[in-house]
Amino acid sequence: MSEHPVDLSTRIIDSGVLEGPVNRMNEELSELADGVAIVESFSHSIAVDTGAGLVVFDTSVEAKGPAVVEALRGWSDAPVDSIVYTHGHVDHVGGSGAFAADADSRGIGAPRVIGHEAVPPRFARYRDTSGYNRVINLRQFGGAATDLAQATERPFLPPSVLEPDLTYEDQLVVTVGDTEFELNHCLGETDDHTWTWIPDHKMITAGDQFIWMFPNCGNPQKVQRYPLEWAQSLRAMAAKGAELFVPSHGLAIAGADRIRGCLITVAETLEKLVADVVDAMNSGAVLNDIVHSVHVAPEALEIPYLVPMYDEPEFVVRNIWRLYGGWWDGSPARLKPPSDQAVGAELVELVGDIQAIIDRAQQRSGEGNHRLACHLIDLAIAAEPESRAAHEARIEIYTNRRGTETSLMAKGIYKGAVSDSQAAISGELPDTKFVLKLE
């Protein structure tokens, strides 16, 4: 049995030392208070026993749903009255089918599902963009190019996921038995987030508004996220004076001062980043200048719950630009740019031969200038997609770069580049147009 999550979180926060993994995904149940339990999983599932049935927050991914239900059933035999989706991401709603199956096996109806009113449109979007979402998740989590064709055949949103029965706009108070749940909408990681204040337990469930890592409001492959509104939601939560704070990833946190300290620290970090980017925009700076000049203080990124292990500030900077600006980066040449192939071919012609570009890319890589190295090698491949030498160099260059990155998102995309070139050399690429291939 793993250490109790609150004991571990208390030690990590108070010491400032991230001594072990905080996302344990072990499907183990821990009691957080009398009548409150958590099953730690891909997303956690948090249960409150009201005496008139359980209210459950999130359900983990589809594959983990049965194990989560089994763990909960080792703790309580009460029917599940309601499931609250903290938001519509598949790692939070995917296991809902297992809860329906559990109700079915007891001869009762499926639990009522509650979520923000933007959850059903999200599900509709997932159905419309199923292949895209499969592909980007595969890349984000380090999948190989050869898995792509297969991945796009399965629906991104599992068909067993339960649709919300009850939705709301700004705030909804639900009472089950004698227990009151104050559901609050916020923007942040998504447009459909719900954080819940449960006064009887002086407790908050926060969804992904606190993830024990640098907030993932910069994801390069996903729809708009909202850093400033994210910070505002953390301040609203901090004002509640909660004694127990339960995010859907990472560890539950106990103690009003400790909780408030964590929430305000993350809020201030986001607010400063937004302010710095907006100040630069207001002064007329273009995106490239901002990306290379606005940074989060390095010491902030060493705080155990702000380490950029999943997302990273550079990506958040771009998301802030997109939110307040637009898709154009401010460079006139890139308003209507030539194709990468044309730029690569021009470079090859200027230099006289592709090998010189490959050599320079490898030299820059060896010097640790990964930005230039990747840029050069990708132009070489754009010019000559069939060049085996270029793909071999690219594998080495992106492997080097991946080794220097901290965020899973960057690592995943760079690993995807390695996989693409490996597949190009071996001729095993799927017949898709979004990956490089040898003809």
* Contacting positions for Zn ion (CB under 5 A): 43, 89, 91, 208
Please, which residue, 41 or 269, has the CB nearer to Zn ion? 41
Under a CB-based contact definition with an 8 Å cutoff, are residues 182 and 114 in contact? no
Smallest distance from Zn ion to CB 127, Å:
20
Smallest distance from Zn ion to CB 61, Å:
10
Smallest distance from Zn ion to CB 136, Å:
15
Smallest distance from Zn ion to CB 193, Å:
10
Residue nearest to Zn ion (CB): 208
Smallest distance from Zn ion to CB 205, Å:
13
Please, which residue, 253 or 376, has the CB nearer to Zn ion? 253
Smallest distance from Zn ion to CB 162, Å:
17
Smallest distance from Zn ion to CB 217, Å:
13
Q: Which tokens in the block code for residue 253?
A: 């946190």
Please, which residue, 97 or 247, has the CB nearer to Zn ion? 247
Q: Strands across the sheet with 244-247, in order?
A: 171-176, 179-186, 193-198, 203-207, 244-247, 253-254
